[in-house]
Amino acid sequence: MSQLIEYNENNHSDYEWFDGFAVIRFYADWCAPCVQNFPVFEQCALRMSAQHENIKFGKVNVDQSPILTLRYNVYGLPSTLIFYQGQIIKRIAGVKTLAELQVIIEHAIHEHSAH
């Protein structure tokens, strides 16, 4: 059911070089808010993937990908980064509701699609 790709230091170029939007959730299995909020992120990914062609969703386990975590300056969990053509255009810190997450992502897409 999940459309989420598990990214790590071996396959991260898949979203970094993607010619569109990539929404990547940084998490850890020991992070209670990450685990509790994950179904919301998954639901958001399913809904938004159906609405937009040029968007992909994924997740990065910070314990398994410390280099990526440092590279993107991810300190708090969960952290969601929105990339557009390889550049970070938005950081979403902490837990968000489905509605909040969708509004933030839609706004970022709209802001950068206009260019």
pLDDT higher than threshold 90 for residue 113:
no
**pTM of this structure:** 0.94
Mean pLDDT over 41-53 rounds to: 93
The β-bridge partners of 57 are 23
CATH number at residue 100: 3.40.30.10
Q: Quote the domain boundaries for residue 32.
A: 5-113
Mean pLDDT over 73-91 rounds to: 95
Mean pLDDT over 13-30 rounds to: 94
Domains contained in the chain, number: 1
